[in-house]
Amino acid sequence: MPATDFAIPEKYKYQNGFGSYHESEAVEGALPLGQNSPQKPAYGLYTEKLSGTSFTAPRYENQQSWLYRILPAASHSPFKPRESDTYNTNPDAVKLQQIPNQLRWDPFDLDASVDWVHGLHLVAGAGDPTIKQGIGIFIFAAGKSMDQESAFYSADGTFLIVLQHGVLDILTEFGPLLIRPDEICVIPRGVRYRVLLPHGPVRGYVLELYQGHFALPDLGPIGSSCLANPRDFQAPCASFEEDHSGSTQYTILSKFAGRLFAASQTHTPFDVVAWHGLYYPYKYDLGRFCTIGSISYDHPDPSIFTVLSAPSDHPGTAVADFVIFPPRWLVQEATFRPPWYHRNTMSEFMGLIHGQYDAKTGGGFQPAGASLHNVMSAHGPDMSTFEKASSAELKPMKIGEGGMAFMFESSLMVGVTEWGLNKCRKVQKDYNAESWEPLKVHFKRPEKKGETVKKMEKDGRPDLGTWVGES
């Protein structure tokens, strides 16, 4: 389908294009012409640069933006630790359990008692944000809007937000974004924002990227279009608040090295009147993904479903990929159509936004749940899916109707937190026993005339056996 039919109408305007150089002004003339930092910016604004990469990064990967605001972001009190005993989302600092077992979680609970900041739970991760290496995988569940006099940012990494339930109304320094199920949102490291919940509790998933930036995957022989097309990504238009009277106390919350810090200021943090650059938040409607697949035989690698990728320093290997499995047609001939059984050098964390995933028909993989198949942990279709697909009539069929599954894939070995493994109480203890242990042996050795089996011994130990055919 060309786009998602949302029940909640859009209420904001956006600029279109991924990786495009955007500019926006809420007041005409607020953007300077011909230079970035005039001696006296228009309307008495301050110039501020937000750097997402080093100044000397190659031009093709350099991401910076210029902001023109009523007061600069530096105008606040010193940051002080907040909730030091309870808030820690640094994978390197919390106890991670590295285990090879396949894991699956029941749907995570909604939590009406907390806001966005306190609704974040680190489930799994790898690396350390203090050295800008690795990823964090979060579940979020919140029922309260953030305070009107607050803002939050992560100094640790870029948030890729996958909403499963509810609606997020996000006010960023660059302008507002409305996020509905089947839409994702990317908020770069350091960007300040406030999350409002206009339609009640929300729930979903977050991939925090500690290193590099998300990019569209190269298409190679596919050509110049399909998968996620650049024009379908939407960036906010400038919009600002005007509260600088000094009578209101605002709180700036910072996630720094996984810990929570707070600073105060007497002016709104959302006072950017104009901006231009390449470093900004954006959103994308997953319904606009143009799916590619085989139209002859065999099931292609799931990399053909990659929406965004964060490459490592090794070509073709990602620190993180964001992959989706949308509704699509299957027409392959003489082919086992679900994903094949496999062991992967990449770690695979899957979630389900709604509907049913075609490789799991037993009902154990549910919307708002998740699964983790770590490095080289064997997995694939469960027994019922295998039996059904092995005998299905191979006529053209559309799968995944009304469904949307996704995967966070990483070249890193992903550890699981104590919250994810025990405290959440959502791990399915019988996942393996239900999915793969019941698989039946279908092997039938072809019979040959006069064939016998001879068991041989070598060095005093029994050999596994050698098949010997007699003439």
Buried residues in 453-466 as b, exposed as e (16+ CB within 10 A) = eeeeeeeeeeeeee
pLDDT on residue 142: 98
342 marked as binding residue: yes
CA 144/CA 166 separation, integer angstroms:
12
- Shared domain check, 380 and 277: no
Identify the three-state secondary structure at position 372. strand
| Tokens linked to 213 | 């930036």
pLDDT on residue 310: 97
- Shared domain check, 116 and 29: yes
Q: Is residue 450 part of a domain?
A: no
- The number of folded domains in the chain is 2
CA 322/CA 405 separation, integer angstroms:
11
Q: Is residue 9 part of a domain?
A: no
Which CATH number characterizes residue 69's domain? Answer: 2.60.120.10
Q: Is residue 440 part of a domain?
A: no
> Is residue 299 annotated as a catalytic residue, yes or no?
yes
- Shared domain check, 203 and 299: no
- Tens of pLDDT along the chain (471 residues)? 568 888 999 999 999 999 999 999 999 999 999 999 999 999 999 999 999 999 999 999 999 999 999 999 999 999 999 998 899 999 999 989 999 999 999 999 999 999 999 999 999 999 999 999 999 999 999 999 999 999 999 999 999 999 999 999 999 999 999 999 999 999 999 999 999 999 999 999 999 999 999 999 999 999 999 999 999 999 999 999 999 988 999 999 999 999 999 999 999 999 999 999 999 999 999 999 999 999 999 988 999 999 999 999 999 999 999 999 999 999 999 999 988 999 999 999 999 999 988 777 767 899 999 999 999 999 998 888 899 999 999 999 998 899 999 999 999 999 999 999 999 999 999 998 888 999 999 999 888 765 544 444 444 444 444 433 433
Q: With 0-12 CB in 10 A as exposed, 13-18 as middle and 19+ as buried, what is 448?
A: exposed
244 marked as binding residue: no
CA 236/CA 332 separation, integer angstroms:
41
CA 215/CA 229 separation, integer angstroms:
12
pTM: 0.93
Query: Which structural domain range is residue 258 located in?
Result: 14-286
Q: Is residue 453 part of a domain?
A: no
Helices H / strands E in the chain, number of each? 3, 33
CA 122/CA 133 separation, integer angstroms:
16
Strands 46-51 and 64-69: antiparallel
Computed on alpha carbons and rounded to an integer, the radius of gyration of the chain in Å comes to 25
Q: Is residue 353 part of a domain?
A: yes
Q: Is residue 465 part of a domain?
A: no
- Shared domain check, 207 and 346: no
CA 326/CA 164 separation, integer angstroms:
14
What's the CA dihedral at 31, 36, 37, 39 to 10 degrees?
-70
379 marked as binding residue: yes
Identify the three-state secondary structure at position 60. helix
CA angle 363, 367, 370 (to 5 degrees): 85
Half-sphere exposure of 321 (CA within 13 A, CB side): 22
Q: Which residues contact 193 (CB under 8 A, 6 or more apart)?
A: 151, 152, 153, 170, 171, 172, 173, 187, 281
- Shared domain check, 80 and 215: yes
Catalytic residue chosen out of the listed positions 22, 121, 213, 299 = 299
Task: Indicate the residue among 286, 307, 340 that finishes a domain.
Answer: 286
Q: Is residue 174 part of a domain?
A: yes
149 marked as binding residue: no
Three-state SS string across 180-247, please?
A: CCCEEEEECCCCCEEEECCCCCEEEEEEEECCCCCECCCCHHHCCCCECCHHHEEEECCCCCCCCCCC
397 phi, psi to nearest 5 deg: -145, 145
- Shared domain check, 77 and 198: yes
- Shared domain check, 354 and 211: no
- Shared domain check, 188 and 87: yes
Sheet containing strand 96-97, edge to edge, reads 14-16, 233-236, 282-285, 183-187, 158-165, 202-209, 133-142, 120-128, 415-417, 96-97
